[in-house]
Structure 1
Amino acid sequence: MPIDDAEAPLPAGRLHWLRAGRLEVALAPEAGGRIAQIRYDGVDWLVDAREGGAATIAWGCYPMVPWAGRIRHGRFDFDGRAYALPTNFGDHAIHGVGFALPWQIDSVETDSATLSLKLPEDRYWPFGGTATQAIHLTPNSLALRLAVQAGAQPMPAVLGWHPWFRKPDQLLFSPEAMYPRDEEGIARLPLVSASPGPWDDCFINHADITLVSAGQRLRLRANINHWVVYNAAPHATCVEPQTGPPNGFTLAPNRLEPGQHQALRFELRW
């Protein structure tokens, strides 16, 4: 899978199933270290590769690392130097590099797994570093931890998870504010009150978010206050916790010094 085409097909590859009680999770480490399916009490919650048309960015639940959302034209400044990343989604660079690269399984148990990825140090991402995931199931919850650690040089970082949920019956969500989008669809400041939707927007939100589907209620929470919600598609709704907004390297820069790490925790509870 070339990193420079986020809409190219990406097969799931070998699946590793984790289980705890009524909860089952299928890991696809070769397909960008993503979760291919989340099944609770027989109900599949995620759009799978076939339903997503196999486009790399359109199925499962994948890590966005070392940036989340779009970087305008792939361009940003860091430490006084201008960088230009390859554009892979129209005119912009989207969702990092982790979703398109194979991850290594470092450990796997019946109800848990850890994965890692050595980030490139090339035109796709010039800073290097390491990304890790930890996944743990209980009979009624799924805990995800995504982290990135800078290598020998400083780096910017925005992390996120991108779950493609099958269209729920209800989305219970009351954000405090949102980033408006400009004519290129890129988030900007200042913050405004949330519009009624449909959305493809980044919000400030501190409360739990709930999805209702097939008689089940799924509560989402994370250790951050930035959430992107995309609910314009007829078949899916994406609810994405992020450590910062899209275009974050410019809009809200975050710097990691050599050896420093940033982590995102995301809990799904039935």
Structure 2
Amino acid sequence: MAFTRAPGKHRRPGRVKRTTTRTVGVAALTTTGVVGTVAVPALAAEPAPEQTGLNQIIVLGDTVAEQVDAQAAAQQQAAEVAAVKQKAQEEARKAAAEKAKQERAAAKEREEIKARAARAAERERLNAYVSPITGSYISTGYKSGGAVWSSGSHTGVDFHAASGTPVHAVGAGTVVEAGWGGAYGNNVVIKMNDGTFTQYGHLSSIGVSVGQTVTPGQQIGLSGATGNVTGPHLHFEARTTAEYGSDIDPVAYLRSHGVNV
């Protein structure tokens, strides 16, 4: 059975009509920015939306945003690390300063302890007493009788000593007499720090002067045989005053100050 095309129906669009339709479809695409919203048969052969370059721009935009976010995060992390580092450095400086302060305080305390110990040792040294002749012995005792003494008895003690033997101050004090003492020959009298007096007679030479301070064991002269003597020795007296006649037992005096005689 043969079919015939009805007159005026289903004719193929002319060239001008197709072109116009194509133009309208493109215009619709350009105006709306949405691909495929206009159903135009003539656009069926146009490139797919993904081929227009719009997706590429969106992807590139996302990548840049991610890079910016990553950079911002890295900067934030770096700032946090720097802050932590700065805080640690500050704490380290504070700790070092505190340690240095403690060390200075400890050093100062050690110096103070050392100074106190030195002062205590010096006080002990100045308060110490020694024998007037090192390694000697008493050859004539206190209150020994005889015609050789004008008072009828010995007012001190004699320490055995050859001429020229060093004579020492038995303790700390101040020299109140240094020179010729009559029967005592060359003699030295010292006012001790405890208020008593000590005398050293028959010296061959004198090594101190009046007003001079002396310390325990300091050499004040040399033993000899000047004055009223029968031979070289040291006459030693302990007195309550600087004057003759105020003598006290010199052995008991030295022993009361820790000297072994």
Normalising by the smaller structure, the TM-score range is under 0.3
Higher relative CO (Cα under 8 Å, sequence separation at least 6) belongs to 1
Give the helix-richer structure, 1 or 2: 2
User: Structure 2-normalised TM-score?
Assistant: 0.25
What TM-score comes out, normalization by structure 1 length? 0.25
Whichever of the two has the greater Rg, that structure is 2
More strand by share: 1
